[in-house]
């Protein structure tokens, strides 16, 4: 079953948060190459999540307050 755009954006935000947390923990080990890759992956996930969130916001009409 295909995921909704909302589910995809949520999953991307979760992946980014996890990658940031793992990279932060890894900084204490001194393996900076791995940390840089994890940080880059977190950044990429964050950017993709933000892009999809903007698309969703643009595509969906604003609710009308009555």
Q: Of the given ranges (20-24, 37-41, 42-46), which has the lowest mean pLDDT? A: 20-24
What average pLDDT does this structure show over 1-11? Answer: 74
pTM of structure: 0.58
The confidence score (pLDDT) of residue 33 equals 63
Q: Using an 8 Å Cβ cutoff, are 49 and 13 in contact?
A: yes
Q: 52 is written with which tokens?
A: 């999809």
Q: 17 Cβ partners below 8 Å, 6+ apart? A: 42
Q: Where are the domains of the chain?
A: 5-58
Q: What percent of the chain has pLDDT over 70?
A: 71
Report whether pLDDT(21) > 60: yes
């Amino acid at each position: 079953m295909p995921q909704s755009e909302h589910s995809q954006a949520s999953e991307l935000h979760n992946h980014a948060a996890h990658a940031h947390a793992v990279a932060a923990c890894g900084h204490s080990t001194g393996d900076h190459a791995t940390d840089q890759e994890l940080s880059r992956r977190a950044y990429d996930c964050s950017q993709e999540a933000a892009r999809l969130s903007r698309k969703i916001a643009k595509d969906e009409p604003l609710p009308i307050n009555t």
